[in-house]
Each structure stands twice: as structure tokens, then as C-alpha cells.
Amino acid sequence: MTALRDRLTIGELSARSGLAPSALRYYEELGLIHSERTAGGQRRYARAALRRVAFVRAAQQVGLSLEEARRAMGGLPQDRSPNAREWARVASTWQHRIDARIAELERLRRKLDGCIGCGCLSLRTCRLYNPDDAAADGGPGARYLLGDEPPEPAESAEPAEPAGG
């Protein structure tokens, strides 16, 4: 097997990571992974590259761009296993990212839940469900289904009755 040397060809890395060679070259161009070259100019990857690729994919799942992933991996060595400290630091950054993302989704979920369950299906009183006339607060970008809490109904153009749950 060509695979038994301690360096991987791009084809091998591709097979193992599930990413196309073109994608790996692209990652390398962006500085996400690193390779050495044979005398003839072909890429050879250290095994650590496989972990880095996995990292990048996971990063994308959490919503990071490739550039952000690159920065996130700043503390990880290119061709060696990271030590505990390095790993812990990077991973903890992640936990926060992930937690934030989960919280965001749970907020969204609860809002949809509440909307169905709050008994306000008359569609006039539920500010979540029917926010049209209390909008334009909180500056551009306020969208209830996303992060923002509905504003107090103070200057709303429509009579709002608190949605009893």
C-alpha cells in the first residue's frame, strides 16, 4: 500500500477526510492545512492534517467561515499532535461558540413553541406571531423570530393584549 509511509498523498487525505483534492488544495492555499513536497513537487501531508481538516469541517458546522476556522486553529501545531494545553484552549473557544449557537436555536424554538401553545391564535394579540405593527424598533434588523425580544407595546400602532400562556 502506498499509504504506509508516514505522509499522506492528497488522494489519501481526500479519501480519509471525505473532501475533494481540489478542496484540500484550496484549504492549503488559505493556510488551513500545510504540506511538504516531494522532490517532484507533489504534496505530502502529515497525519495531523487529517485532524485539522476534521476541525475545519466541524468549525463550518458551528457556523465559522474558513477564515475564522483558520484563526481558531491558530494555537494548534501544523504537523504534530497538540498538547493538552493547546487543545484545551482551542476547544474551549469552541464550546462557547457551540453553546451560543445552541442557545440561539433554543430561543427560536421556544418562540415557535410559544406561538403555537400560547392560546393567542386569534392572531391579533400575540406579538411574536403577529409582530407587524410593533416592528421597526430596535433599529434595522430587529426580527422577532431571531434573537430579539419583542419590545414593550408602548407606541404600537395596534391595540395589544398580553398573550396569556
* Residues in contact with DNA by the rule CB under 7 A: 2, 9-12, 14, 19-23, 25-27, 35, 38-43, 60, 65-67
* Euclidean distance between the first and the last CA atom of the chain, given in angstroms as a whole number: 65
Cα dist from 157 to 40, 95, 136, 142, 163, whole Å: 72, 42, 11, 17, 17
Residue 41 vs 139, nearer CB to a second copy = 139
Residue 38 vs 143, nearer CB to a second copy = 143
Give the whole-angstrom CA distance, residue 122 versus residue 15: 55
* H or E stretch at 37: strand 36-37
Binding site for a second copy (CB under 8 A): 1, 3-4, 6, 15-18, 47-48, 50-51, 53-55, 57-58, 61-62, 81-84, 87-88, 91-92, 94-95, 98-99, 101-102, 104-106, 108-109, 112-113, 115-116, 121, 123, 129-133, 135-136, 139-146, 157-158, 162-163
